[in-house]
Amino acid sequence: MIHLTPSLALIFQEASRAATALESIKHPDLSKFLVIAAILFIIGVAGVLTRRNLLVIFMSIELILNAANLNFIAFSRYLQDTGRGDPLAGQIFTIFVIVVAAAEAAIGLGIVIALYRNRETIWVDEIDLMKW
């Protein structure tokens, strides 16, 4: 029986770890999601500020939006776990944001095409019509 003790301890150890993992799946840690979202947001902002290609700027904007979406989902789940607030509101908001982003992308790409046809470029440092 005595040689079974380490393995039993291991099993218990493993079992408690699995339980903890299960627990963390059931009740995920909010801060991790927020960190990921913040990283995504910063990547997006950096892209918007630094890239010259209009299409890439667009993609960066999508990253910003998705960072916001991730926040919505995370908070939604968090509120669901702690039993406070309406659990579905954040998720539905996300759907809205996706739809609006799709529409925005359609219009934005239209603008890009129109811009290209007029000025033969989509590099933003060459588009300075607003200069005094």
Residue ranges binding other proteins (CB under 8 A): 45, 48-50, 124-125, 127-132
Residue whose CB is less far from other proteins, 30 or 48: 48
Instruction: Please report the beta strands in the chain, taking only residues with DSSP state E, as ranges in sequence order.
Output: none
CB of 129 to other proteins, least distance (A): 6
Residue whose CB is less far from other proteins, 57 or 74: 57
CB of 120 to other proteins, least distance (A): 18
What residue type is assigned to position 93 of the chain?
F
CB of 4 to other proteins, least distance (A): 54
Residue whose CB is less far from other proteins, 51 or 77: 51
Residues in CB range of 58: below 8 A, 6 or more apart: 105, 108, 109, 112
Tokens read off for 34: 């927020």
What residue type is assigned to position 72 of the chain?
F
Residues in CB range of 40: below 8 A, 6 or more apart: 63, 64, 66, 67, 70
Residue whose CB is less far from other proteins, 120 or 125: 125
Tokens read off for 74: 């995370």
CB of 118 to other proteins, least distance (A): 16
Query: What's phi and psi for 128, nearest 5 deg?
Result: -130, 50
